[in-house]
Amino acid sequence: MLSYRHAFHAGNHADVLKHFVQVQLHEYMNQKDTAYTYIDTHSGAGVYALDGSFASKNAEFDTGIGPLWTRTDLPPALAEYVALVKGMNPSGKMRYYPGSPWVADQMTRPEDRLRLFELHPADSKILADNFRKADAHKAEQGERSRGKRVMIERGDGFLSMKALLPPPSRRALVLIDPPYEMKDDYRKVKDALEDALGRFPSGIFAVWYPVLQRMESRQFADRLKRLPAKEWLNVTLTVSTPGPDGFGLHSSGMFILNPPYTLEPMLREVMPYLVKVLGKDAGATFVIERGTQVTGAAAARVGAGGTARQPVGNARRASPLSGTGSLRLPGQAAVPRPETPPADARRPDGAAASKVGASERAKRFSRAEGAAPAAGARPERATSGRPTAGRPTAGTSPARPRKRT
């Protein structure tokens, strides 16, 4: 199925979250002199015309990049992202919006490499045309051609990524952003990441995903937490309360494996601002989680109130409708679990319950020394010093009661 066209959603709140995080990941990679490879498994068209027939149909950019366009109080990380978008619009009017390949092209250095994949035939052609036009424009300005710095291929990014890992420089930033129009996309992302981590455990892998009411979406982040990466970071942005019909994209997330240490502090600063500016009702919120693969549990979970709290339960045992575990629906309260009494709880008579129980069980299975066996019982027989409780051992036959004469 290749019906998805990102042009309908260009510049919406999900793009804001995805691309401003992407900018910060490039900033971190650029701190070292060693070149790195940027891999985009689902590149899209690269550039989108906001006044075109696709983007203007629903005008989702009016609730995404639109509210940020004229703000003068942007946090520094967000201001850098908005400045990049404005760089595509020198007239000052919001006409074009960059996709992730264009963001990468602007943020990477001449020595870095871009490997872009897109399976949709129309978007793949538009992507190549956009970069060809950009090359021609730079040539007119006296800048040399990119050469092999940027390579664009029409194909399956999940499969193509395998041949590129590990990269020659042993540094890579991978963005995975499928359309999720099919349920199978969630499984493909997890399988591709598991394979990629086996080939290149130290790479930075960033995954955008929608937060929907469907089961695959609600369980997705919990499954990624159990991938064999040293650390992970998960951030979600919700701009409104989901409707009763479950339709519409109200929330999305970015899941980063091997995240930079600078990313979480930046998110704590920016996410409250995004909720304030892009939020539509009281349901607007954000969540930041970080943790390790060892337990799959978050080391810290920060919500819109700014308070850290631990996730509850185990995703594999939790029901999304029960209110327990990490699969609770937005706004659903947790069901308290019954407390288990401590092992050394005391009886009224002062004896330890556990010890008394053991003593009582022992009485039921033992008899006083010298007591006669019960009628019809077989005598016990020992071999090598161990009681066999009436069971025969190798080379012996069970004892039989003697017949009275």
Catalytic residue ranges:
177
Report the candidate in 73, 326, 358, 100 with the shortest Cα–Cα distance to residue 223. Answer: 326
Report the candidate in 76, 64, 72 with the shortest Cα–Cα distance to residue 24. Answer: 76
DSSP 337-397: PPPPPPTTPBPTTS-BHHHHHHHHHHHHT---TTPPPPTTPPPP-EETTEE-TT---TT--
Alpha helices in 151-212 (DSSP H): 157-164, 184-199
Euclidean distance between CA atoms 147 and 151, whole angstroms: 9
Q: Write out the two tokens for 30.
A: 């650029």
Do 235 and 288 meet the contact criterion of CB atoms below 8 Å apart? Answer: yes
- What lies within 8 Å, CB to CB, of 258 at 6+ separation is 202, 203, 204, 205, 229, 230, 231, 232
